[in-house]
Structure 1
């Protein structure tokens, strides 16, 4: 499939990887971010969900778009849907949306964008990945508390999650953007196994040689803690998602990554060993 792909959130966890994969495969890519940060092989372009003046230039000549919702916005459809209508009018014919395994079509937040996508584009796909493995290795609150305190705090109890590698998400995103036929469906993406946060803490302890523990909070305790640095309504939403994990909502694995990429998804231990393994002396 030829054309130019606009990748929003091109400095983020999945956007950066998706832009790099597309560019590395020879596709024309426009890497969109608020500061037009360069991505090797891609054309940087200024893009801000909340600044409509940046949208026309980003869309100029684009026929496909990877949509990363504005981070932390509990009502993303307010800015995303006008942009998507503009994108369709500008000639975009395929849209791939990053959503979440916890948010169904028509559900809260990005679920509303998911529900509108099939009416806006004939070619579309919605990626619904489980929780990112990179939450434990990058800039996420979990990663910071692991590094600084050796603690992971959640309200998930003994619930398990099919944590997924962002590289696998990007591989599926690139496929959905470039395959001759868009899936036209939502794709639930997981890693190869469902793990509890106690399991994650144990693996990190073994891999790094530093003790890591999972501290179990109540939903209310977690919401209060999160609300010290994010909007209270978003903190409440995240805490409720943890409670749904405790109730078993994310205790599953799918074969979507293998089916679409031809290779198995990466396991958490393999990622942890690569990114956090002990340094040889």
Structure 2
């Protein structure tokens, strides 16, 4: 394994951990970075498997909460309500993701220009929604109406287009449906767990025949980097958005998408 490839894997792992849970599209960033760095992984196996690092990061942060929910589930109505809500929010994107899997990975994932355009459009939407005088009606992720959970799940379907951002789609959807900014981000975390685990398992199965022992070192480096950085992000994001909102991430998307379009125009 060339040293340069290990460094590329380290960089991409850090990028995955940094962007997975903020509304800027981790997939879009990874695909663009890989395109301009010349980083190739068969069947996008590297990009798929390092997501496990980010998954484990959020599971570790919420482990006590999840364990308590498991204990309370048989008898506590609020916990039961919340679990049903997560399932309702999970199902729309899960259904479409399986139905359109091949098209997404072989067509949409191969279009850096589309990713850049979606980054820019998503940035504009995020800036507009962040400034809208929306009166928040829901301040607790566990007791929102089921139609709100389902509506957030419908918004999550937009994230099947690379560059849109799973967390961005769910956060914007949650805010438009009446949650405050912190609650929108927190529910995005909870929804990420089944969504990312489901996508990871499905993609791992689909790519089971293309992985080899030579892939292990770069995947391991990317996995560890994604885990450590995602852990830091999850610990700090809720307080940040409660105080400052999402404008920073909207501008981030505009800059990255704009620079990407310029680079594609110059270098292809």
TM-score scaled by structure 2?
0.23
Q: Structure 1 or 2: larger helix share? A: 2
TM-score (normalizing by structure 1) = 0.22
Of structures 1 and 2, the one scoring higher in RCO (CA 8 A, sep 6+) is 2
